[in-house]
Amino acid sequence: MLARRQGSTLYDTEGKAYLDCVAGIAVNALGYNDAGIQQAMGEALASGMVHVSNLYHTAPHARLAALLCETSFADKVHFCNSGAEANEGAFKFARRYGRAHGDDDKVEILAFTNAFHGRTMGALAATPRPKYQDPFKPLMPGVRFAAFNNVESARAQMDAAVCAIIVEPIQGEGGIHAATPDFLAGLRALADEYDALLIYDEVQCGVGRTGTFWAHQGVL
């Protein structure tokens, strides 16, 4: 049971020291007691605006949305509470898009071997690992899979029923597997050809972790 931290050393409740080589976990590698994070949290607490419903905007909310748009191809931002929830939201946007651009059958999601998209029911259905999926079956229907880094495998799974392709530009939990430029470009072309959306899951690899602000920018 961890009790305190000094530099990169963590101490448990019995005083035993551990060298911290991970600074958090997977998507949350922010370390402990980061001065900038503490300051931002302190300012949020002091402002009395720690939680504001999605009926309203705040200035930090708008600044963050602008940063995310300016650094990417996006023009709108939907905030959520976790990576899994972000992917659930992306699937909902995609199915809505599919119905608007196709018919009621355009609801299928194409995901890849070794992917990890989260543990909620929709995200889990796109995470093809028995260890995570088997205890919780039946899964959300409408997800198909192709081999990561294999455009022809993806092509073989594409048809008019696919509303979105979801891919990690660098797979995290599946091992550190980077997508090749040809693979990402091929997925973009397939998505365009079948009028499907292309979802980059950068929950673990994005936001400055790989040298470019978004991981796909370093791949392409």
Ligand X SMILES: Cc1ncc(COP(=O)(O)O)c(C=O)c1O
Task: Select from 54-62, 81-89, 101-109, 178-186 the region that touches ligand X (CB under 6 A).
Answer: 81-89
**83 contributes a contact to ligand X by CB under 6 A:** yes
Q: Rounded to the nearest whole angstrom, what is the least distance from the CB of residue 59 to ligand X in the complex?
A: 25
Task: Select from 58-66, 96-104, 110-118, 134-142 the region that touches ligand X (CB under 6 A).
Answer: 110-118
- d(C-alpha 85, C-alpha 12), whole Å: 32
Q: Rounded to the nearest whole angstrom, what is the least distance from the CB of residue 212 to ligand X in the complex?
A: 17
**173 contributes a contact to ligand X by CB under 6 A:** yes
- Close Cβ partners of 208 (under 8 Å, ≥ 6 residues apart): none
- Contacts with ligand X, 27-66, as mask; x by CB under 6 A: x---------------------------------------
Query: What tokens appear for 122 in the block?
Result: 């929709």
- Close Cβ partners of 13 (under 8 Å, ≥ 6 residues apart): 1, 2, 3
- d(C-alpha 151, C-alpha 202), whole Å: 20
- d(C-alpha 75, C-alpha 72), whole Å: 8
Strand order, beta sheet including 197-200? 143-146, 108-112, 162-167, 197-200
Of residues 3 and 136, the one with the C-beta less far from ligand X: 136
Chosen residue from 146, 163, 201, 219 binding ligand X by CB under 6 A: 201
Of residues 112 and 194, the one with the C-beta less far from ligand X: 112
Helix H or strand E segment including 198: strand 197-200
**199 contributes a contact to ligand X by CB under 6 A:** no
Q: Rounded to the nearest whole angstrom, what is the least distance from the CB of residue 87 to ligand X in the complex?
A: 6
Beta-sheet pairing, 162-167 with 9-12: unpaired
**128 contributes a contact to ligand X by CB under 6 A:** no
Q: Rounded to the nearest whole angstrom, what is the least distance from the CB of residue 86 to ligand X in the complex?
A: 7
Residue among 159, 144, 119, 96 at smallest CA distance from 27: 119
Whether residue 59 contacts residue 31, with contact meaning beta carbons closer than 8 Å, is answered with: no
Query: What tokens appear for 7 in the block?
Result: 């530099």
Chosen residue from 124, 154, 186, 204 binding ligand X by CB under 6 A: 204
**206 contributes a contact to ligand X by CB under 6 A:** no
Footprint of ligand X (CB under 6 A)? 26-27, 82-84, 87, 116-118, 168, 172-173, 201, 203-204
